Chains A and B, each alone.
Chain A
């Protein structure tokens, strides 16, 4: 993540930090590793939800301020 004055703060993800739910309910998600591809089948209404967790790891002397980053979700539709 990039913060004030270009300061950096690492993000980390682990296996199981993401989940896919065909019913769009967080309680019914199937976990997967967000660092790898995951294949899922959409429901008949063409909808689904992806939930992603992760960890921001600020150092003890991390510069105060607002940090931002972009998460890219790539959805490849296979016939």
Chain B
């Protein structure tokens, strides 16, 4: 016996309130200047229920497989050959609750190490929102078994920091991820 169900989720990088969606994230990419060493991301909950959000950071770059599909290749512990800022850019708060129709700001602070070579360094910020219960349709008989699904929406945006040109000399990066932030 099989029960067929269907759910719908809304991708919202901007827009109005709808069911089963996460939080709006703006901007879609953060560029940090070496002089300011900081940035911010705005989260907006367009829904009517509070949304729990967890912030984390990863390093990764898009790759294409033999079929042309794009995936994000993540590196847990990027070494010095990769243009990673994972070790020295922090986002805070790491956990927050965004109330209905409310906005919250996540701040980014970069602490580049002394002597960091000129160039561009990046990471990706993961905004994981518990988007609530998903409306399910198509289940005809629920007398004995009921099914319920919750939705988690993870939005991943890029954060790039440009180190001051001509300050500490240039650096070489692994060709596989050069300019693929």
Contact = CB atoms under 8 A, between A and B. Distances in A.
Interface residues of A, number: 42
B145 interface: yes
Contact of A45 (B14, B158, B181): B14
B149 A51 contact: no
Given A56-B2, A56-B3, A58-B3, A50 B11 contact: yes
Given A37-B71, A62-B145, A73-B154, A57 B2 contact: yes
Given A39-B69, A51-B7, A75 B145 contact: no
Chain B interface, DSSP helix/strand/loop, else mixed: strand
Contacts, number: 137
B1 interface: yes
Nearest to B180: A78
Interface in A1-53: 1, 3, 9, 24, 26, 36-39, 42, 45-53
B145 A72 contact: no
Contacts of A36: 69
Contact of A66 (B6, B13, B29, B148): B148
Contact of A47 (B14, B149, B154, B181): B14
Contact of A77 (B2, B134, B146, B157): B157
Max chain B C-beta neighbours (<10 A), residue from A1, A62, A73: A73
Interface string B148-164: 11111111111000000
B5 A49 contact: no
Given A37-B71, A52-B9, 18 more contacts: A37-B69, A37-B70, A39-B69, A47-B10, A47-B13, A49-B11, A55-B5, A56-B145, A58-B1, A64-B145, A66-B146, A70-B152, A71-B134, A71-B152, A77-B13, A77-B158, A78-B70, A79-B181
13 contacts: A45-B14, A54-B5, A58-B3, A66-B146, A67-B148, A68-B147, A68-B148, A73-B153, A73-B154, A75-B156, A76-B72, A77-B28, A77-B156
Interface of B: 1-15, 28-29, 62, 69-72, 124, 134, 138-139, 144-158, 181
